[in-house]
């Protein structure tokens, strides 16, 4: 740890010299070297973000603070991108002495990176807001979504009453799912509902596995645990690999839900393949799954896709 800290400190002090040397030899600033040299997606966007965060240039630090304030004000949305980002890109190009007439492609590439970086930060706030919102049975919207979850997962069976042991069929612990959402708030419900509505075949398939007489598990509770996992992967930045490599999509709540669906489907596969003796093995298999996902996300080239394969067990 001491060696690591010393190396980090050394890098910090040597960074200006290294940047100056590379600028002199390549005639390109660090941001240009990243935008031209790194592969589109997570490698490039993460490189740009790191460069901006480590910058000691006052104007760059002001731009970063300004964009953060736009996110906190919930104004970083696609319809505002032009008025927010074009001046920011222009200022940084001027400060870095990047001529638009010579490096026209840089402004486009750099702007795309800014869109991804601050869309991710905006998503962090939105997800946190949903997590902090507790399920309220007096809220008609919450109740409607919960009842719709039942209808989507068990369309052939009518729910006899709002408080019912039937909820245990889809993996809630008691007669009222409200208490199970306590840890992840409305975010847990939104994730489950998205999986059931957008991937009906896959969610039905996973639910059938959860009801297996030998290898079964609590579908909804596992789903909420996966919401927690997805949430912390987003918070600590691990999910940037998935978000930034998702072509044609900026980080947003829909992409977060899709990330969750991928995790649910893949966890179910690992669980069935493990053939656990009983539910007591859940924590071991869950930790193994999380470690495997983190390992994949550590590779900036990783791309996750949901591959639906219906099997029988």
Cβ atoms 116, 38 nearer than 8 A: no
Domain boundary among 132, 156, 182: 132
Q: Is 309 within a domain?
A: no
In a domain, 232, yes or no: yes
Same structural domain for residues 178 and 153?
A: yes
Q: Is residue 304 part of a domain?
A: no
Question: Are 94 and 168 contained in the same domain?
Answer: no
Q: Two tokens at 215?
A: 């290898």
Structural domain of 22: 2-132
> Is pTM, for the whole model, over 0.85?
yes
In a domain, 178, yes or no: yes
Tell me how many domains the chain contains. Answer: 2
Residue where the block lists tokens 């009518």: 158
Same domain, 70 and 153: no
- Picking from 100, 132, 164, the residue at the C-terminal end of a domain is 132
Please report whether residue 31 resides in a domain: yes
Question: 186 vs 197, 231, 262, CA distance in Å?
Answer: 16, 13, 19
Q: Are residue 161 and residue 236 in the same domain, yes or no? A: yes
Q: What is the pLDDT of residue 14?
A: 57
First to last CA, the chain: 47
- Residues 161, 99 share a domain: no
Q: Give pLDDT tens digits for 277-306.
A: 888 999 999 999 999 999 999 999 999 887
Please check whether residue 303 lies inside any domain of the structure: no
211 and 270 fall within a common domain: yes
Tell me, what DSSP letter sits at residue 217?
-
Q: How far is CA 310 from the centre of its chain?
A: 26
Round to whole Å and give the CA distance between 78 and 262: 26
Predicted pLDDT of residue 310: 47
Q: What is the pLDDT of residue 15?
A: 58
313 within domain boundaries:
no
Q: Which stretches in the chain have pLDDT values below 50?
A: 3-4, 7, 20-21, 310-313
């Amino acid at each position: 740890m001491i060696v690591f800290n010393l190396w980090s400190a050394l890098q910090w002090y040597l960074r200006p010299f290294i940047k100056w040397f590379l600028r002199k030899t390549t005639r390109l600033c660090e941001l240009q070297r990243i935008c031209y040299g790194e592969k589109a997606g997570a490698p490039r966007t993460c490189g740009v973000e790191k460069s901006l965060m480590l910058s000691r240039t006052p104007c760059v630090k002001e731009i970063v603070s300004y964009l953060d304030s736009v996110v906190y004000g919930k104004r970083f949305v696609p319809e505002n991108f032009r008025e927010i980002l074009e001046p920011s890109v222009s200022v940084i190009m001027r400060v870095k002495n990047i001529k638009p007439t010579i490096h026209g492609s840089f402004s486009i590439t750099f702007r795309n990176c800014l869109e991804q970086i601050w869309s991710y930060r905006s998503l962090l706030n939105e997800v946190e807001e949903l997590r902090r919102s507790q399920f309220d049975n007096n809220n008609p919207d919450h109740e409607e979504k919960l009842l719709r979850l039942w209808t989507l997962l068990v369309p052939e069976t009518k729910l006899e009453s709002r408080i019912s042991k039937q909820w245990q069929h889809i993996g809630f612990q008691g007669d009222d799912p409200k208490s199970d959402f306590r840890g992840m708030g409305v975010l847990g419900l939104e994730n489950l509902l998205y999986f059931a509505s957008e991937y009906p075949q896959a969610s039905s398939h996973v639910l059938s596995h959860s009801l297996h007489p030998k290898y079964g598990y609590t579908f909804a509770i596992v789903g909420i645990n996966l919401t927690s996992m997805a949430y912390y992967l987003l918070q600590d930045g691990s999910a940037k690999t998935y978000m930034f490599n998702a072509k044609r999509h900026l980080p947003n709540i829909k992409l977060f839900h899709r990330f969750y669906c991928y995790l649910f489907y893949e966890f179910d596969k690992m669980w069935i393949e493990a053939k656990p003796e009983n539910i007591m093995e859940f924590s071991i298999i869950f930790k193994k799954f999380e470690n495997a996902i983190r390992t994949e996300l550590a590779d900036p080239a990783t791309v996750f896709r949901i591959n639906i394969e219906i099997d029988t067990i």
